[in-house]
Structure 1
């Protein structure tokens, strides 16, 4: 159909719906059209381009949505693995409709950005008209906005399936949207997608509740007992005083229906006594822990409806762990410096989790040493492979990282070569100076991390890899992203947690560091310092940090007599004038 004819028909249909004439559109779509016309005064004849926020504004939204992004990311990655072959992209927006996280196919990166299916895009109903995210935020319900359901003709090629994400206090905090640039004509083609998105959001909300209410009782609920332990439909948390402290949106809906509440506020059930919702004594909840049959897990709602509950007891808060409980390698990265102690304790909490880590700090602070301590502290053993991204020649970096198939290019080994990434399979891949990796290779690395497989140069089949990634940079990667020198999507993939290593001049355990480096350089023999020499070492600013100290001590070892380093054995720049 001619575009001008299609445009005229689209505008006429919106106008007819506003006049109350009969339409085949879903009621929620028509209601959104009416809001666009009457509340936001949008013009159906206007073709608006997607709005992408500037980086500084996007950063503010991402900082405010940091908890949402963290808890949702793993669910998004799992969902994307299931739908990416069908051309879908995933958007995570905050409660204002701004896309704070995104997963899509980099091959159509430009088309996605033009269509607004990109990080930083703003999809509020007031700005974009009827769309998946905007209508979902306004109605608070999951929705499919398919092609010409969109108010703005510029968005009619898209099919958007969106579901709201609610906080455990009942407030709407974001939207998960799954979209297609091009899709089948019929809207029912997205029915299964809608259920998949709602299922993913349900798991995100459950994870958020369980993570934020660890000190409360958690009741995972389902109408039947068969899938209660693996896929509950909703969940609530109950505080020690017997009041409901949090719940998923599914529990809001369940309780509202049971109590005949048509509209509920964010705090409809938070703070209510447990017995007002359930016909069950809160003090008997511990009895459910010993339930062996479905009948023992059954609870009655206030309207007599039966629901099954899987109970998790509160995690009792213990005193802060003693330093001795740290894994030995992590306990050995400092000698009492408070900043390093905090770093070691934070690292110990995540060391066995498949979370990517970024180590930041000045040149020479010992990032690889900390990375090796993290690797050695893991229960899961495997190889440690370190790659200095700044030292590899650009012409060789691709074959070094990804390997190559036999006889894949002139001069290639007839047997092929296993790349460094594949060599790290089952262990830790340490990417030192990741900020110096060329942009084209950043794209390939992103695919390795997303798909968990590596494609050697010249190969036709990918090789699966299971790696824990630790990255390091003496420059802040976020600044490189802002300057356009580092891929934003790769940054968010690597940025599971950032550990900042302090400069040597700022550490309070310099005497301990001196002893450790002296033992390392002297290879176990005794290397001692005269009092003036030690005072000079402690007073030095150490701009090159630990790497500079190693170089200084190697010189001192060569110049000293009988292993005793005097002030005269120090480099001139260390000797007080």
Structure 2
């Protein structure tokens, strides 16, 4: 059919729906169309390109969505392994419709960007019209927006299935969207996809509840006992005082129905007594522990409905009264400087979460020092492997990073060699000067991070790896992306949280830094400085930062004669 005719027919159908004429569209699609026309004042004849946010704005959204990223990533990766062969792309958006995480096929990278199925795209209903993410956020319901369900004709090739993700307090915090660039024309072809996405979100919410409410009673609930331990409908946490402390969205809807309320009114259940919802004595919950038969697992709700419960007892917390506010390793990276104090505080919040970190700063500010501190601060212990991507020759970097199989090339060792990435398994992989990595190897590194496995040169089977990636560069990675010198998909995979290390000249704790470096340079007899020498060191601009400071103090150690470093013992550029 002529595209002009298709377009005119689509616009007319939206107008008909607005004027109340019958349509075969699903009610949630019609309701979204009406919101687009009446609330957002969108023009159905407008064909809009996908909106991609600027890097600085995207970074802010990702930082605000740190908790969402950490709780959803494991579910996304598991889901993608099951659907990637069918051409699906996974998007994770925040509550404003901005894509903060993405998993897709790099082979169709350009097409995905053009369609807006990429990180940084904004899919709010007010901006993009009727779409999977936008309609999901507006309705709070899991749904599929299929092809011409979309308000904007520019998006009609897409089929988007989305499910909302709710926090343990009942607030909607994001959307998991599974999309196809091209799909069968029949909408029912996505029915199974919808159930799979809803199931994935249930597991994400359940995992978040069980992880964040470890000190409370956790009750996983199901209408039948058969799948209670496998895929419960919902879950609720109950505090020691008998009040509800958290719940999954399924439990929120169940409780609202039990009390005769509309779940969309957002009447919170957190803080309400457990016995408002259940006709069951809170003090009897312990007897449900270890229940195996349906009769032992059954409990009655206040409206008479019978639910089956699988109960987890509170995990006893270890007293933390004597512990510092943050890990010792992070307290030792500064001497009271405000910027470094903020950096340490931010690092402490994410150090044990599976989020990639980029360290930014001028050459010589101590990025590897901070990376080692992040590694030492982790509860999970393992090796720390640092790779200077700029120092490795391009001819050797592949075999050094990924290793090689026995006799895989001329000159290869007969026993093969384990690569640096595999050596970092279970620990931290520090990629220094990542901006200098060749493009071909960036694609291989991206696959390692996405698939969590590494294939050695000449090998036939991949080896599973679990590494925390910390990368650093003195170059502006976003500028390299814009110049086509760095892969955008790898950049967004690495760009989880950015920690900006200030230059030495900007730090308020320069005197502390000087003393720390002096102890390293001369551990047996720490250097002492006269008042004039210290003032000269403090007043210097330090273009080479801490690396230059180390060299300077090494010169002082060689030149000074006596107990104190005096002005004449300092290099000429310091005195100048």
TM-score normalised by length of structure 2? 0.81
| Aligned counterpart, 2:205 | 205
- Offset at residue 50 of structure 1 (A): 2.9
Q: Does 2:304 match 1:310? A: no
The whole-number CA distance in structure 2 between the counterparts of 1:348 and 1:126 is 36
- Offset at residue 180 of structure 1 (A): 0.6
Q: Tell me if structure 2 keeps the 8 A contact 1:527–1:557.
A: no
Q: Tell me if structure 2 keeps the 8 A contact 1:169–1:267.
A: no
- Offset at residue 375 of structure 1 (A): 4.1
| Aligned counterpart, 1:281 | 281
Q: Tell me if structure 2 keeps the 8 A contact 1:526–1:563.
A: no
- Offset at residue 272 of structure 1 (A): 3.4
Q: Within 5 A, what are the aligned runs for 1:292-441? A: 292-293=291-292, 295=295, 297-307=297-307, 308-313=309-314, 318-323=319-324, 326=327, 354-375=354-375, 382-393=382-393, 397-403=397-403, 413=412, 419-438=419-438, 441=441
The whole-number CA distance in structure 1 between the counterparts of 2:75 and 2:476 is 27
- Offset at residue 97 of structure 1 (A): 3.0
The whole-number CA distance in structure 2 between the counterparts of 1:122 and 1:292 is 47
The whole-number CA distance in structure 1 between the counterparts of 2:461 and 2:482 is 35
The whole-number CA distance in structure 2 between the counterparts of 1:354 and 1:229 is 26
SS, match of residue 162 in structure 1: strand
The whole-number CA distance in structure 2 between the counterparts of 1:344 and 1:126 is 38
The whole-number CA distance in structure 2 between the counterparts of 1:379 and 1:3 is 58
Cα gap change, 1:468/1:49 in structure 2, threshold over 3 Å: closer, same or farther?
A: closer
Cα gap change, 1:121/1:320 in structure 2, threshold over 3 Å: closer, same or farther?
A: same
Q: Tell me if structure 2 keeps the 8 A contact 1:343–1:499.
A: yes
Q: Within 5 A, what are the aligned runs for 1:115-264? A: 115-210=115-210, 217-225=217-225, 227-228=227-228, 231-238=231-238, 242-262=242-262, 264=264
Cα gap change, 1:92/1:382 in structure 2, threshold over 3 Å: closer, same or farther?
A: closer
Q: Which region of structure 1 is more displaced relative to structure 2, 14-23 or 107-116?
A: 14-23
Cα gap change, 1:346/1:45 in structure 2, threshold over 3 Å: closer, same or farther?
A: closer
SS, match of residue 50 in structure 2: coil
Q: Which region of structure 1 is more displaced relative to structure 2, 11-20 or 198-207?
A: 11-20
Q: Tell me if structure 1 keeps the 8 A contact 2:533–2:570.
A: no
Q: Does 2:69 match 1:101? A: no
Cα gap change, 1:475/1:221 in structure 2, threshold over 3 Å: closer, same or farther?
A: farther
Q: Tell me if structure 1 keeps the 8 A contact 2:229–2:310.
A: no
Q: Tell me if structure 1 keeps the 8 A contact 2:402–2:421.
A: yes
Q: Tell me if structure 2 keeps the 8 A contact 1:299–1:309.
A: no
SS, match of residue 550 in structure 2: helix
Q: Which region of structure 1 is more displaced relative to structure 2, 413-422 or 247-256?
A: 413-422
Q: Tell me if structure 2 keeps the 8 A contact 1:92–1:176.
A: yes
- Offset at residue 434 of structure 1 (A): 2.5
- Offset at residue 247 of structure 1 (A): 2.6
Cα gap change, 1:440/1:321 in structure 2, threshold over 3 Å: closer, same or farther?
A: farther
Residues 513-543 of structure 1: per-residue CA shift (max 9 Å, x gap): 5565445445x64354464587457645472
| Aligned counterpart, 2:29 | 29
SS, match of residue 385 in structure 1: strand
Q: Tell me if structure 2 keeps the 8 A contact 1:533–1:565.
A: no
SS, match of residue 197 in structure 2: helix
SS, match of residue 387 in structure 1: strand
TM-score normalised by length of structure 1? 0.81
Q: Tell me if structure 2 keeps the 8 A contact 1:527–1:565.
A: no
Cα gap change, 1:9/1:363 in structure 2, threshold over 3 Å: closer, same or farther?
A: closer
Residues 353-403 of structure 1: per-residue CA shift (max 9 Å, x gap): 544333344433433234335445667665433211233455654454345
| Aligned counterpart, 2:450 | 450
- Offset at residue 119 of structure 1 (A): 2.6
Cα gap change, 1:325/1:359 in structure 2, threshold over 3 Å: closer, same or farther?
A: closer
- Offset at residue 112 of structure 1 (A): 1.1
Q: Does 2:91 match 1:83? A: no
The whole-number CA distance in structure 1 between the counterparts of 2:201 and 2:157 is 25
The whole-number CA distance in structure 1 between the counterparts of 2:186 and 2:212 is 41
Q: Within 5 A, what are the aligned runs for 1:9-88? A: 10=10, 25-33=25-33, 36=36, 47-55=47-55, 58-59=58-59, 61-62=61-62, 64-88=64-88
Cα gap change, 1:345/1:21 in structure 2, threshold over 3 Å: closer, same or farther?
A: closer
Residues 458-481 of structure 1: per-residue CA shift (max 9 Å, x gap): 766544333222223346767877
- Offset at residue 241 of structure 1 (A): 5.4
Q: Which region of structure 1 is more displaced relative to structure 2, 312-321 or 138-147?
A: 312-321
Cα gap change, 1:300/1:351 in structure 2, threshold over 3 Å: closer, same or farther?
A: same
The whole-number CA distance in structure 2 between the counterparts of 1:482 and 1:66 is 25
The whole-number CA distance in structure 2 between the counterparts of 1:43 and 1:336 is 55
Structure 1 gaps, min length 5? none
The whole-number CA distance in structure 1 between the counterparts of 2:562 and 2:541 is 26
The whole-number CA distance in structure 2 between the counterparts of 1:311 and 1:499 is 38
SS, match of residue 130 in structure 1: coil
Q: Tell me if structure 1 keeps the 8 A contact 2:252–2:263.
A: no
What is the number of residues matched between the two proteins?
Answer: 571
- Offset at residue 148 of structure 1 (A): 3.4
Q: Which region of structure 1 is more displaced relative to structure 2, 484-493 or 542-551?
A: 484-493
- Offset at residue 248 of structure 1 (A): 2.1
Residues 467-503 of structure 1: per-residue CA shift (max 9 Å, x gap): 2222233467678778987555434433454555565
The whole-number CA distance in structure 1 between the counterparts of 2:5 and 2:186 is 20
Residues 280-319 of structure 1: per-residue CA shift (max 9 Å, x gap): 234x166358555455554321012222142453876955
- Offset at residue 177 of structure 1 (A): 0.9
Structure 2 gaps, min length 5? none
